[in-house]
Amino acid sequence: MKSFVIYISLLLPTLCFSQIKSPEIQIEESIRALPDSMRENATVIGYDQEGERVVLKNGTNDMICWADNPGPDSPKGAIYVVCFPKSLESYMNRLRDLKVKGMSNEEAYAKVAVEIKEGSIKMPSVAVRYTLRGHSAEGALPLTVIHIPFCTQESTGFSEKIDNFRPWLMWGGTAHAHIMVPGH
C-alpha cells in the first residue's frame, strides 16, 4: 500500500498539469500564428521546465509571440498562442498581470480601459494581433484581431454582430475596440 501511495503522489502532478513543451516546439507553435514573412524574426516568450516565463527566442522585427500557457487551467492538448507588435506590449502585459493576480476578465478589462483613458497605458491608433487556438496544435484556427481603440460600427462599417465567416467589430466605442477577422 505504501508503494502505491508513493506511485500515485509521483504520478498526480503529471495528470493535473499539462506537460511543458520543449523550447523548440513552443517556438514553432507560437510563430505559426504569424504570416510567413514575419515568423523568422519574431521574439518568442514561453516557459521553462519550472513553468516560469522566459524569452525563448530574441527577434528583430518588433513582433512578440507568447507560447501556449501550460498551466493547470489549460485543457490538455488545447492550444492558444498570440503574437502582437511591440506597440501592444504594455497593453497585453497589463491584462496578463491583472489576470495572474486573480482578476476576472471583466475586472481586468475595466481597469485597463481606465488606465488607457488616463494615459498610463499608451495604445497605438491601429495594431494587429494574431492568434492561433483550438483543441489541438494540429487543428488550431487563426484569428486576426485589429485593435482600433474607440472605433465604432459607424466609423468602420463593420457590423457588431458576431460572425464566424466575416470580420466584425467587438467592443465598439471602447478603449478595447477591435475588429475580429476569423480564419478558416
Whose cell is 475595466? That residue is 110
Percent of the chain with pLDDT over 70: 88
Q: Could you say which DSSP state residue 22 is in?
A: P
**Per-residue pLDDT, 18:** 55
Q: What is the mean pLDDT of the chain?
A: 89
120-144 pLDDT, tens digit per residue, is: 999 999 999 999 999 888 889 999 9
Tell me the average pLDDT across 34-38.
97
Q: Within a domain: residue 153? A: no
Q: Within a domain: residue 71? A: yes
Q: Within a domain: residue 80? A: yes
The C-alpha torsion from 120 through 121 and 124 to 125, rounded to 10°, is: -70
**Per-residue pLDDT, 146:** 98
**Per-residue pLDDT, 4:** 41
Give the domain extent around 90: 2-119
Q: Within a domain: residue 114? A: yes
* Total tally of structural domains belonging to the chain: 1
Under the banding of pLDDT at 50, 70 and 90, the label for residue 70 is confident
Under the banding of pLDDT at 50, 70 and 90, the label for residue 73 is low
Tell me the average pLDDT across 44-54.
93
Tell me the average pLDDT across 89-108.
95
- The rounded distance, in Å, linking the Cα atoms of 66 and 133 is 12
Q: Within a domain: residue 137? A: no
Is the per-residue pLDDT at 15 higher than 50?
no
- The rounded distance, in Å, linking the Cα atoms of 26 and 45 is 9
**Per-residue pLDDT, 75:** 67
Instruction: Work out the number of other CB atoms within 10 angstroms of the CB of residue 10.
Output: 9
Q: Within a domain: residue 180? A: no
Under the banding of pLDDT at 50, 70 and 90, the label for residue 14 is very low
**What strands, in cross-sheet order, belong to the sheet with 63-66?**
53-57, 43-47, 63-66, 79-85, 127-134, 141-147, 178-182, 168-170
**Per-residue pLDDT, 138:** 87
Q: Within a domain: residue 54? A: yes
Instruction: Work out the number of other CB atoms within 10 angstroms of the CB of residue 58.
Output: 9
Percent of the chain with pLDDT over 90: 78
Is the per-residue pLDDT at 119 higher than 90?
yes
Tell me the average pLDDT across 28-46.
97
